[in-house]
Amino acid sequence: MNIENHQRNPVLLIHGIEDTETVFHKMAAQLRLQGWSVYSLNLVPNNGDLGLDELAKQVADYVTATFAPEQRLDLIGFSMGGIVSRYYVQRLGGINRVQRFITISSPHYGTVVAYGSSRPGCLQMRPDSIFLKDLNSDAVMLEQIDFTSIWTPYDLMIVPANSSQMSVGSQVIVPVALHPWMLTDPRSLVVVKIVLERIKLPYLKKASSQ
């Protein structure tokens, strides 16, 4: 068994629109108590004035500046941050750096709430946007890593709520009542811990299918 799979990767947290890294205060504190090294950055601007592809470059630059080239990462993106993270993974080489990738209440197929603003980032998060269609056109590449989407059917920020559901990877429904509670509800925190502790051994799956 590969010893690398027993080592805990650093965890990078990416926040959502109108948020800062402080939105992860409870999650980050718990993960640190449980032995993870936790990192985060503030996306600037955080209000949708900049396209999500441009924000993803901030993530790429942060990873390059903070971690050694051979260091694998676990990546968690909340809401808009999950889409920013997906662009980093799918378009900016993150697929080669990230081992586990979790999105929490992210509008993978858009949210009608985004029609309330004409800012570039919000336009990209509208249902059927060119940006999301392009990103979803090869979402299958996420099967190369350990990808999990966590979402709630009661989300009033991601409308429809099942826009946070993906056809690839794993999904976990945490039935909390409010969008921001996804980062503080004990059930969400337990799911995140379980996913980060999960050991993915693709070569065993391949062997068993023969």
pLDDT digits (tens, 9 = 90+) for 102-135: 999 999 999 999 999 999 999 999 999 999 999 9
- The CA-based angle 62-66-68, given to 5 degrees, is 125
Q: Is the pLDDT of residue 177 over 70?
A: yes
What was the pLDDT predicted at 6? 52
pLDDT band at 198 (very low <50, low <70, confident <90, very high): confident
Per residue in 68-90, pLDDT tens? 999 999 999 999 999 999 999 99
Question: How many other C-beta atoms lie within 10 A of the C-beta of residue 169?
Answer: 17
Q: Structure tokens of 185? A: 């509800």
Radius of gyration of the chain (CA): 16
Q: Structure tokens of 197? A: 């502790």
pLDDT band at 201 (very low <50, low <70, confident <90, very high): very low
What was the pLDDT predicted at 58? 98
Across the range 8-25, mean pLDDT stands at: 97
Q: Structure tokens of 31? A: 């993960």
Find the range with the poorest average confidence among 3-17, 126-140, 182-196: 3-17
CA-CA distance, 181 to 189, in Å (whole number)?
10
Between these two residues, 207 and 63, which has the higher pLDDT value? 63
Across the range 19-48, mean pLDDT stands at: 97
**Bridge partners of residue 96, in order along the sequence:** none
CA-CA distance, 15 to 11, in Å (whole number)?
13
What is the end-to-end Cα distance of the chain in Å, rounded?
19
Determine what percent of the chain is predicted with pLDDT higher than 90: 90
Cα 173 to Cα 113, 122, 207: the distances in Å are 21, 25, 30
CA-CA distance, 122 to 120, in Å (whole number)?
5
**Bridge partners of residue 185, in order along the sequence:** none
What was the pLDDT predicted at 180? 96
Between these two residues, 198 and 57, which has the higher pLDDT value? 57
pLDDT band at 7 (very low <50, low <70, confident <90, very high): confident
Question: How many other C-beta atoms lie within 10 A of the C-beta of residue 127?
Answer: 16
Beta-carbon contacts of residue 39 (< 8 Å; ≥ 6 apart): 10, 11, 12, 13, 62, 66
CA-CA distance, 88 to 72, in Å (whole number)?
14
- Name the DSSP letter for residue 193: H
- Average of per-residue pLDDT values in the chain: 92
Q: Is the pLDDT of residue 2 over 80?
A: no
CA-CA distance, 21 to 14, in Å (whole number)?
7
pTM comes to: 0.91
What was the pLDDT predicted at 207? 30
What was the pLDDT predicted at 4? 42
